[in-house]
Structure 1
């Protein structure tokens, strides 16, 4: 029963939007530390979700049918919940899916007033359950167990004499009968017709878990990749980065060929050959230390991966560090570092470093003797900071200084950071570009909740990028997300470039020739106000490119050049920008936690794991909460262009009209700004609003 309880807890966490499918499965598996348990959780949870998620095709119950038959209109979990309702299982057995030795049962026994009942419950509970323990909701526990009873090939994983199994099997004939009725009504021949279809490659990967001799390898592969925040089931290509802190690309190629692998010039050729040859690989055309292998390769069978000479990292995730530092490598090759005034000792700061793939790649790129660079890696969360340190150890990244601090708490004019010239900014985002998160299986948020979250994330991203650009010695800053939404990508870049402060400091976007010039997919022109040249400076990736969905933009500083003009933002964009400013003033005045919520609920491009420290809320405690509060305060000040040192008290706010009149409070300033915004909206007319709606779609 313990496995079913824990699988149901994962479903509870998904209902509460606490993480992704794979991340929560991995976090729960870490608690038990059993080999292969994470893969088992993933398979069971996905199979249950396939039967339970919202209808996305005609194969699912339509609302009109449910209304006509007196059924609830909630279609979040249509099939299994329908079976439970039709057979009245939960109503007939109200205690069947309530763990008898749980904290809830103990509390019930105590509240009953019977000392004998309480003592009996305490004695029956194992030692590890006598302390209050989180228990799953009966509904989700029923979902998991009924799924296995009806659809799992081996049925329920419980002893035949287990009392829960014996009771549940009494309902099997009624459940089977209703299941067959549903298949006839939906006009499908198999149980699969009642489920959400998975992408072919995802389905085949899940099908392979736990079968034959590869079972242990599959489980170990899942555990290894989940612990480092990588993606399970990535598609046709398995990307491996040569860790040049321990190896060279030349040595890697020689090693592969020596142990029987065949190298191809092009990735497409390698993929074609992989249909008949298992051991093939290719060098990537865009990023020098990157190798492409077939996705079917089992990493634990490659000794160079086991000892850290090769690191699994998606190609898109390699782009930020490569875009940031490849010009430095080129200058080092030609001996131009001294001539260009850069000299040795390039200093890189990774603003949100965990789990550490981008950090270790940056460390490898600047470790060259001709550069002698170092990396400062910031990570505010204690649990993820531990993951970062483990990754640095695995990669042998001795030129990295990890710091368990919030990047937004660092002061850009801190003398200790004056030598920081290059910054990686990969803030929390929606994670909408990561297909293997399996988010399409999770009931979707209402549209207004989704848009509110994306907007909050966008504000946070603007804050953290703006903070990075204010560092005194900064010359080059790369901004990246694993999102495909323009609100988190081009829009953030446009809002940064619209800031007069940033333009006067000399910041502009690096031209295409400096940002992966041969990569075809670029920024969206319409999201850049119709400026094709500006869009061409940005990089986009989609799953059809053999990578995760991704976005990269590079800001460069040129203090000698004339400040660039503000970008051509459509009228509706200007209104949106002013709306954000108004909201930010309101947040500052009223103490809203919107930015902290964005940082807490988003994911980074490398993050798809909810660590136990985050998932169960036990580690970090009050200290972690205070860190988030401080981060929120700093983020608000960054969006507003303020700092603790210069923020004026409310009673000393400058007069609104600038004529030395009566001082206005922040709230009064906000109200004035809001009135001005209403007037501009009225002047813009209804056409802008309609256009805004269409673009958001």
Structure 2
């Protein structure tokens, strides 16, 4: 029953919008660390979601939940008390009965537990994976005739011949990927693949499978030689490679924009490649490689020039102290961008190190696994909330380059399987985007305040302007950062030959700002993505404020720290005492983050006018609560005049 309970908990988390399908499945799997369990959760949960509308119909038509009100309710508190009573421990029994809420947190909802079990009873080839004498199985099988009868009736009504006709259809590429999950040893390989892909939608996009050469283990030249020895043919152009792949599957190409990146046909099976299995090749979407490359490309160019001129790229005070370049990844899990940054700065002449922050304990384990797989020994992982770090901490004063890839909506990842989950009402979605945008502003602002910061890259796997250009424009509009010398790096420092740039209209009509930004869409052969690079010139004159862009009218809301997104793997509801403590800690952290985000967006405003207090709730106690309509009108008119004068 444990697997059914945990699968139902994943469905509960999906209903509560706590993460993506893949992220929640992989996060739940990390709790037990059983080989292949992540892939198993993913396959079962997706199958249940495909049949979910039909399963709900079956449950309603047969009145199964009404007739068996306790069958799918794990009586945690009652069971705990009964066990205590039987063992003669009265105190334990009393405690269990007095704390039902504590025990109920461990149980899934009856509807989702019933959905998982009815799916296996009706549609899984293996049937229910419970002993034949299990009381739940025996009782549930009594309803099989009624369920079968209603299932056949529904097929006739919908005019379909097979059970597959009752499903929600999956995109062909995703369906074939899921159906390839095997058993035993093969499932372990598949689990590794899905665990890595779940972080940021790393599946093949369109016709291309992007693979990053892990230069911590070998060089690009060695990788090319390995492919050619294996009978692979190399092409200089990705389009030529795709054309050749129609007749010959063993082809690959070097990427034109990012040096350690290779393009392979989407049909490539990763578990069969030894270089993938041992971490020499890593599956990483091209767009996901852009942040680290944009952050560190100038450093690499300087190092290359220094070597060409016979100079030591590390000369200077930093070299004398035995310290190289310091990079900080603010939200590191699952670790793809982190390990890429580590690979780019490892060894001489840069001799760089990366500090990787991840506040969630489950995701921190995923990060450490990724660091081990990539052999990233120059990374210091920290199970800490980035926002809790002090920008002027002496231990972090040498951090000069920061990666900021915060939680986002994940709207740029086409393979999140979110179409299997009912979408939230439009107003709820807009509210969520506003909350995420406020959090993104808070974390980016925090990064720009680090005393040694010289270059900061902000990225999301979102296609929404509110999370992309909107965040950049609001941060550029802060007088604090303009006076510190922060500006956007020009196009010639940010993938200059990449064609798709920022949206001009979202940048207040400023084409130069839009040109400094990078956008990706699935038609580019990547996931949807956004990249902006901030650079600091503290000796330059403060830059003028950017063009005004219409901003959200509501004050910052409670922040929703969602995962599954971009490189995020959300944690499923915890089913143990330790998990409860983690949940409380996370709740406290989210509350603090919400406060910080609100301060970043709203700012510490002067004493609010009565109208402002009425609209925002700030200082409401000091505002006159009995204003007449005429007074409100005059105040509003005065407020509009004040705003207009401020803009002029």
SS in 2 for 1:433: coil
- Match in the other structure for 1:207: 179
Say yes or no: does 1:617 pair with 2:588. no
Match of 2:619 among 660, 667, 675: 667
Could you tell me which runs of 5 or more consecutive residues in structure 1 were left unpaired when the two chains were aligned.
Answer: 53-77, 123-130, 585-593, 643-652, 658-664, 685-697
- Match in the other structure for 1:46: 46
**Per-residue deviation, residues 44-101 of structure 1 (Å, max 9, x unmatched):** 211211122xxxxxxxxxxxxxxxxxxxxxxxxx4222222122222223333344xx
Q: Evaluate the alpha carbon distance shift between residue 679 and residue 83 of structure 1 in structure 2; reply closer, same or farther with a 3 A threshold.
A: farther
- Match in the other structure for 2:99: none
Match of 1:451 among 430, 438, 454: 430
Match of 1:156 among 108, 128, 148: 128
**Per-residue deviation, residues 169-223 of structure 1 (Å, max 9, x unmatched):** 4433433333333334334444333322111100111122237xxx633542323
User: Aligned equivalents of 1:398 and 1:423: distance in 2?
Assistant: 19
Say yes or no: does 1:326 pair with 2:320. no
What are the equivalent positions in structure 2 for 1:213-612 lying under 5 Å apart?
216-226=185-195, 229=199, 231=201, 233-235=203-205, 236-335=207-306, 345-570=324-549, 573=550, 576=552, 579=553, 583=555, 594-595=557-558, 597-598=559-560, 600-603=561-564, 605-610=566-571
Any conservation in 1 of the 2:258–2:293 contact (CA below 8 Å)? yes
Please state how far the C-alpha of 1:321 moved relative to its aligned partner: 0.5
Please state how far the C-alpha of 1:457 moved relative to its aligned partner: 1.0
User: Aligned equivalents of 1:342 and 1:679: distance in 2?
Assistant: 59
**Per-residue deviation, residues 330-363 of structure 1 (Å, max 9, x unmatched):** 1222229979999863322221222222122112
Any conservation in 1 of the 2:61–2:150 contact (CA below 8 Å)? yes
User: Aligned equivalents of 2:313 and 2:28: distance in 1?
Assistant: 52
Any conservation in 1 of the 2:13–2:19 contact (CA below 8 Å)? yes
- Match in the other structure for 1:689: none
User: Aligned equivalents of 2:639 and 2:410: distance in 1?
Assistant: 32
Say yes or no: does 1:80 pair with 2:55. yes
Say yes or no: does 1:137 pair with 2:109. yes
SS in 2 for 1:95: coil
Please state how far the C-alpha of 1:481 moved relative to its aligned partner: 0.8
Match of 1:94 among 69, 81, 85: 69
Any conservation in 1 of the 2:20–2:563 contact (CA below 8 Å)? no
User: Aligned equivalents of 1:681 and 1:405: distance in 2?
Assistant: 43
Q: Evaluate the alpha carbon distance shift between residue 231 and residue 553 of structure 1 in structure 2; reply closer, same or farther with a 3 A threshold.
A: same
The answer to which of 372-381 and 338-347 deviates more is 338-347
- Match in the other structure for 2:645: none
SS in 2 for 1:320: helix
- Match in the other structure for 1:146: 118
Superposed CA RMSD in Å reads 3.8
User: Aligned equivalents of 1:609 and 1:264: distance in 2?
Assistant: 38
Say yes or no: does 1:6 pair with 2:6. yes
- Match in the other structure for 2:79: 106
Please state how far the C-alpha of 1:623 moved relative to its aligned partner: 5.1
Match of 1:196 among 168, 171, 193: 168
Please state how far the C-alpha of 1:403 moved relative to its aligned partner: 3.0
Q: TM-score, with normalisation over the residues of structure 1?
A: 0.77
User: Aligned equivalents of 1:613 and 1:138: distance in 2?
Assistant: 17
Please state how far the C-alpha of 1:428 moved relative to its aligned partner: 1.4
User: Aligned equivalents of 2:363 and 2:291: distance in 1?
Assistant: 20
**Per-residue deviation, residues 579-632 of structure 1 (Å, max 9, x unmatched):** 45xx35xxxxxxxxx45x32x334552223537879982463655555445545
Any conservation in 2 of the 1:437–1:608 contact (CA below 8 Å)? no
- Match in the other structure for 2:152: 180
SS in 2 for 1:292: strand
Q: TM-score, with normalisation over the residues of structure 2?
A: 0.83
User: Aligned equivalents of 2:362 and 2:327: distance in 1?
Assistant: 23
**Per-residue deviation, residues 274-301 of structure 1 (Å, max 9, x unmatched):** 4444433221111101122233433333
What are the equivalent positions in structure 2 for 1:120-131 lying under 5 Å apart?
none
- Match in the other structure for 1:74: none
Please state how far the C-alpha of 1:8 moved relative to its aligned partner: 2.0
Could you tell me which runs of 5 or more consecutive residues in structure 2 were left unpaired when the two chains were aligned.
Answer: 94-101, 610-616, 625-631, 643-648
User: Aligned equivalents of 1:613 and 1:89: distance in 2?
Assistant: 28
The answer to which of 548-557 and 149-158 deviates more is 149-158
User: Aligned equivalents of 2:426 and 2:494: distance in 1?
Assistant: 35
User: Aligned equivalents of 2:223 and 2:334: distance in 1?
Assistant: 24
- Match in the other structure for 1:589: none
Any conservation in 1 of the 2:331–2:406 contact (CA below 8 Å)? yes
Q: Evaluate the alpha carbon distance shift between residue 333 and residue 106 of structure 1 in structure 2; reply closer, same or farther with a 3 A threshold.
A: same
Q: Evaluate the alpha carbon distance shift between residue 390 and residue 37 of structure 1 in structure 2; reply closer, same or farther with a 3 A threshold.
A: closer
User: Aligned equivalents of 2:153 and 2:60: distance in 1?
Assistant: 14
Number of residues of Structure 1 aligned to a counterpart in Structure 2:
607
Any conservation in 2 of the 1:425–1:479 contact (CA below 8 Å)? yes
**Per-residue deviation, residues 501-528 of structure 1 (Å, max 9, x unmatched):** 2223222222222111222222222222
Higher RCO by CA contacts (8 Å cutoff, separation 6 or greater): 2
**Per-residue deviation, residues 10-43 of structure 1 (Å, max 9, x unmatched):** 2122222232211222233334444333222212
Any conservation in 1 of the 2:18–2:563 contact (CA below 8 Å)? no
The answer to which of 28-37 and 364-373 deviates more is 28-37
Q: Evaluate the alpha carbon distance shift between residue 400 and residue 44 of structure 1 in structure 2; reply closer, same or farther with a 3 A threshold.
A: closer
SS in 1 for 2:262: strand
SS in 1 for 2:466: coil
User: Aligned equivalents of 1:237 and 1:342: distance in 2?
Assistant: 45
Any conservation in 2 of the 1:217–1:298 contact (CA below 8 Å)? no
User: Aligned equivalents of 1:676 and 1:110: distance in 2?
Assistant: 70
